[in-house]
Amino acid sequence: MVRKTTKKELTEVVKTIRLYGNRMLEGLKENELTWIPENTKGRSIESYLRHLLNSEVYWYTTIKDGLFEYFSRKNGFDDLKSSFKKHESKILELVDIADDEALALRIPEREGENFQNFRRKGTLAWIIYRTSMHAIHHFGQIAYIRFSLENPPTDKINGHSDPWGYIMDKIVFLAHSDD
């Protein structure tokens, strides 16, 4: 059985992830953007953001060519942060024009071991949930870096003092709602 999503649900998922992501990216100092925790194989905040955006480029390109362009190390933090906001608008446009097939939550079927070959592509709904879960993971890593640098995000989200918990609960609710 394939679960159908709604445009309202997908719009809320996109806006919720962007709300949390923008919170994680606010109030950073220049020297914090490229700092990497010692003795780890971690990335910097700038590198995590570039990775998130390029992941979105990869998945959204499977359903619409030319929607986004990949980011290189030449793209600095301000450009990446601006693009994070621009991606939101384009994703919401895709939701707005989505048909019933795009709203079905269906994972891609790959051919063989090559992850680039698809027998069937993932739907828009699957891509939104996939990239949102991926973003939550990496924003957690960004939060770790911020706490390590003693510059944690301080703003509440909608009055909640535990923004991560609030965002997670909201995503879980949306993923399991009947509306």
Give the integer Cα–Cα distance in Å for 25 and 72: 19
Question: Binning pLDDT at 50, 70 and 90, where does residue 115 land?
Answer: low
How many angstroms separate the CA atoms of 152 and 30, rounded?
A: 15
DSSP string, 56-108: HHHHHHTTSTTS-----TTS-HHHHHHHHHHHHHHHHHHHHT--HHHHEE---
Q: Return the pLDDT at 179.
A: 54
The class that CATH gives domain 3-175 is mainly alpha
Q: Running DSSP on this structure, what letter comes out for residue 109?
A: E
Cα–Cα nearest to 137, from 105, 161, 171, 108: 171
Q: Coil, strand, or helix at residue 58?
A: helix
pLDDT band at 1 (very low <50, low <70, confident <90, very high): low
Query: pLDDT at residue 159 above 90?
Result: no
More confident residue, 161 or 55: 55
Structure token digits, residue 13: 């998922």
The reported pLDDT for the residue numbered 177 is: 66
- Per-residue pLDDT of 69-105, as tens digits, reads 999 999 999 999 999 999 999 999 999 999 999 999 9
Please tell me which of 35-44, 88-97, 141-150, 159-168 the model is most confident about, judged by mean pLDDT: 88-97
Could you read off the pLDDT of 52-65 as tens digits, one per residue? 999 999 999 989 88
DSSP element (H, E) containing 110: strand 109-110
| CB neighbours of residue 24 within 10 Å | 24
Please give the share of the chain, as a percent, with pLDDT higher than 90.
63
CA–CA distance, 26 with 155 (Å, rounded to integer): 9
Please report, rounded to a whole number, the percentage of residues in the chain having pLDDT higher than 70: 96
